[in-house]
Amino acid sequence: MSIVPKETIHVIAQSIGISNLHDDVAAALAPDVEYRMREIMQEAIKCMRHSKRSVLTTDDVNTALSLRNVEPLYGFASGDPLRFRRAVGHSDLFFIDDRELDCKEITEAPLTKAPLDTAVMAHWLAIEGIQPAIPENVPIDPLSAPPEVKKSDIPGLKPDQMTVDLKLPVKHVLSRELQLYFEKITELIVTGADDVLLKDVFASLATDSGLHPLVPYFTQFIADEVTRGLNDLPLLFSLMRVARSLLLNPHIHIEPYLHQLMPSVVTCLVAKRLGGKNFVNHWELRDFTATLIAFICKRFGHAYYNLQTRVTKTLLHAFLDPKRAMTQHYGAVKGIAALGSKLVRLLILPNLEVYINLLLPEMSSQDQANELKRYEAIRVYGALQAAAGNCIYEMLQSAPPSKKKPANNKSQSTTRKDVDGDASMHEEDGADDKDEGVKRRRRALSEAWKEDVEVGDLINSLVDLFGEGMLPFIPMREMSKCIL
């Protein structure tokens, strides 16, 4: 009935020397004990409130007891949390674990450090209602960063002017703390600290206010280290994370330094060789960098209107140049895919057929003896599939296909298995029909960028190119609307 079980009353009675307490007495006392305890706790909470705390301490309980003219409980003055132990043999009886201390040990122990004395610090919480970005204040809410300021920064600063500006021997006033911070961070990045520490580093870079003076140094650092450490994959990864953290930091106006940052980032996406030795997992780095580039374009596209066009131009060049290595193609495809389905439709799909035809020999074991190169080609193939699938998915999401079905799509989707047998394939329901369909689909691919393109046609042509392996890349529900 009561929170305090009568066993507790028995135990307390025994502890003060009453061994033969009657069960009824214990049962009658239990609810009253509970009531008194609640009363004391309420008084204690009152004391806690007047001490302007939100944590109840043993002191509060003692003050409450003295308010009720009860002798306080001695021996609970230490700030350590009490250790409760379960009594053996009882399921819900607890006692405090009191350790025996040896006085000699205590007296002979070296003196502990004196606790720091109370002190007062003063700082500006706000100046005319605006919180200054100083370490004493909470990092400002990212939403409150005024976008107007950023914009006004950009127009005057053309990239080439900026480099000139930076190279002038301007004496920067960099506080000692910031210098130390920079040195520490760069050291950690270069030497490759453990993951936990690095995580903290990135978190600090992404949230701390007042890092702005360090931005030029960090961009320079990233540029230098990327060119120096192309063979060091963990380093490159860390550097890209640094770049990402800086971009995420709401207190930094990184736009003037983007031009310096971009080449390094693009390098990490479409470099021929990243991480030196073969079979290093540089794919992951490329994937990460691709999302990073997409993030930059999305966030700063409005300020740097030609940012995205320049990036896509670089990527497209890499993609369309058959002399480039497969790794570069992979990076380019990933980069374009990350920038959105519009660009995939505009840049990849129209070139897809030609490209696949070039890619297929690289993939087959007869034509390409080099195991590694074949693997690379397969990665590119996969990237293309994913890009196309995603693109279709988004198209279906935004505009469901019209009801009109291509006449022969059912047979195609079920019978077409051979990838490269496109033209040579003969079907029972008539070659004319099929030829017409092929043309139509080719047209669909090359005109994929148009707004009114038929999604069903696109899908069919993709299935033509990729085979049924394409299907899992498109969610079933959407596809069922237009294929089945």
Partner 1 sequence: DNEAGRYKESYSKLRNWVHSSLDLYKTELLRILYPVFVHCYMELVAKGFAQEAREFFQSFRDDHQPQHIRDLQKLEGVITPQHLQENETACTLQENKVHVKMCQYSFELLLQYLQSTESMLMLGIVNSHINLKAVLPGQPAALVDDDESSSLPAKVQAVVEATNQKEIHWGILEGSLEDKFEKQIAAELEKADADKDAETDEAKKRAADGKVKRVKRDKAGKGLKAEPAARSVPRLKPELTMPLLTDDFERQALDDLRNRVKLGSTALPSVSCYTFVNTNNSLNCASISADGAYLAGGFSDSAIKLWDMVKMGEPSMYSDAGKQSLNKRPTSIRHYIRLVGHAGPVYGVDFSPEGDSLLSASGDCTIRLWSTRLNANLACYKGHNYPVWDVQYSPVGHYFASASYDRTARVWSMDRLQPLRIMAGHLSDVDCVQWHVNCNYIATGSSDKTVRLWDVQTGECVRIFTGHRSMIVSIAMSPDGLFMASGDEDGAIMMWDLASSRCVTPLLGHTGCVWSLAFSGEGSILASGSADNTVRLWDVNGSSKVTADKTRRLRLLKTLPTKSTPIYTLRFSRRNLLFVAGAFSPSKGH
> Which CB, 24 or 432, lies closer to partner 1?
24
Q: Can residue 340 be called a binding residue for partner 1 (CB under 8 A)? A: no
| Residues 130-189 within binding reach of partner 1 (CB under 8 A) | 130-131, 136-138
Beta carbons within 10 angstroms of residue 27's beta carbon: 14
Residue 55 binds partner 1 (CB under 8 A): yes
Q: Is 83 near partner 1 (CB under 8 A)? A: no
CB atoms within 10 A of CB 466: 19
Q: Site for partner 1 (CB under 8 A): which residue of 99, 104, 123, 167?
A: 123
Q: Which two tokens stand for residue 269?
A: 């996406």
HSE, CB side, 13 Å, CA atoms: give it for residue 61: 14
196 is an interface residue for partner 1 by CB under 8 A: no
* Residue 67 within binding range of partner 1, rule CB under 8 A: yes
**Identity of the residue, 113 or 167, whose beta carbon is nearer to partner 1 in the bound complex:** 113
Cβ burial of 216 (10 Å; 0-12, 13-18, 19+) is middle
Angle between helices 258-270 and 215-228 (to 10 degrees): 30
* Contact pick of 101, 120, 164, 168 for partner 1 (by CB under 8 A): 120
Give 83's contacts (C-beta < 8 A, 6+ positions apart): 96, 97
Residue 313 burial (C-beta neighbours within 10 Å; 0-12, 13-18, 19+): exposed
Residue 50 or 317 with smaller CB distance to partner 1: 50
By the rule CB under 8 A, 124 interacts with partner 1: yes
The yes or no reply on residue 86 touching partner 1 (CB under 8 A) is no
Binding characters for partner 1, 16-35, by CB under 8 A (x = yes): ---------------xx-xx
Q: With beta carbons less than 8 A apart as the criterion, state whether 36 and 70 touch.
A: no
**Residue choice 92, 128, 160, 432 for contact with partner 1 (CB under 8 A):** 128
The answer to the question of residue 72 lying near partner 1 (CB under 8 A) is no
Using CA atoms, how far apart are residues 260 and 266, in angstroms rounded to an integer?
11
Q: Which among 253, 179, 239 is positioned nearest to 209, based on CA atoms?
A: 253
Name which position in 14, 18, 23, 53 contacts partner 1 (CB under 8 A): 53
Query: Per CB under 8 A, does 411 bind partner 1?
Result: no
Min separation Cβ 99 and partner 1, Å: 23
Q: How far is 365 from 144, CA to CA, in rounded Å?
A: 58
| 38 is an interface residue for partner 1 by CB under 8 A | yes
Instruction: Evaluate whether 268 touches 262 at the Cβ level (below 8 Å).
Output: no
* Least spacing, CB of residue 152 vs partner 1, in Å: 22
Measured on CA atoms in the order 456, 458, 463, 469, is the torsion positive or negative? negative
Told to check if 69 binds partner 1 by CB under 8 A, we report no
- Token duo for residue 336: 């374009």
Under DSSP, is residue 95 helix (H, G, I), strand (E, B) or coil?
A: strand
The stretch near partner 1 (CB under 8 A) out of 124-132, 153-161, 334-342, 476-484 is 124-132
Residue ranges in contact with partner 1 by CB under 8 A: 1-2, 31-32, 34-35, 37-39, 42, 46-47, 49-55, 57, 59, 63, 67, 79, 115-131, 136-138
